[in-house]
A and B are shown apart, each in its own frame.
Chain A
Amino acid sequence: GAGVSQSPSNKVTEKGKDVELRCDPISGHTALYWYRQSLGQGLEFLIYFQGNSAPDKSGLPSDRFSAERTGGSVSTLTIQRTQQEDSAVYLCASSQGSTQYFGPGTRLLVL
């Protein structure tokens, strides 16, 4: 079946603008994760959704970051008042078990 998809693949925005990044997980996967990968860096956990449970938001770097998951499927990561340090690749992963399957990411550039 289809893998994890993310949109847009690339996003260029101006400092101070809000952006929304979308993730479509693998059908049937109950767990969904967002990670951030800065240039030349490892992946940094942001947020985790599991079914109807309260999300684990412990990795969100500031209150400008938020995410929601509607109907237990699609997720949106929102960054308000973007800053240049928000420039990174935002990766979504889904799982049903231990293995996390990653999407191709959204490359965000804040000018």
Chain B
Amino acid sequence: QQQVKQSPQSLIVQKGGISIINCAYENTAFDYFPWYQQFPGKGPALLIAIRPDVSEKKEGRFTISFNKSAKQFSLHIMDSQPGDSATYFCAASKATGNTGKLIFGQGTTLQVKP
């Protein structure tokens, strides 16, 4: 019940295209859903996050779509650029009334071709 399942494992997109990464969770107590971006040799960095009281959040070219009834959320990267090539992790946590420890998906390696 603590798992977060992420797909696809890898993704290749042409420059200018849309990258879509999906995650599903089981624990309905989760109330915080961040996406992290990780470049080789670096630690993960927060990209964008959402709480379950909204269905969508957009920051620049990055959008999270959240479906509470399906227990799924996804990251959309519009106008994908070669600089977006990285590994992306979704995560979930019980941010309130708990330790806030993050449960991570397995990661998606994105390659954006010029």
Which residues in A have some Cβ–Cβ distance to B below 8 Å?
A: 4, 31, 33, 35, 40-45, 48, 50, 56, 59, 91, 93, 95, 98-105
Contacts and interface: CB of A to CB of B under 8 A. Distances in A.
B114 interface: no
Closest 8 CB pairs of A and B: A102-B43, A42-B104, A43-B104, A42-B106, A45-B101, A48-B99, A56-B99, A98-B95
A83 B105 CA distance: 25
Interface in B44-78: 44-46, 49
Interface in B95-114: 95, 99-107
B103 to A, nearest CB: 7
A91 B99 contact: no
30 contacts: A4-B43, A31-B100, A33-B101, A35-B104, A40-B107, A41-B106, A42-B6, A42-B89, A42-B104, A42-B106, A45-B101, A48-B99, A56-B99, A59-B101, A95-B100, A98-B32, A98-B34, A98-B49, A99-B34, A99-B49, A100-B34, A100-B100, A100-B102, A102-B36, A102-B44, A102-B45, A103-B43, A104-B42, A104-B43, A105-B43
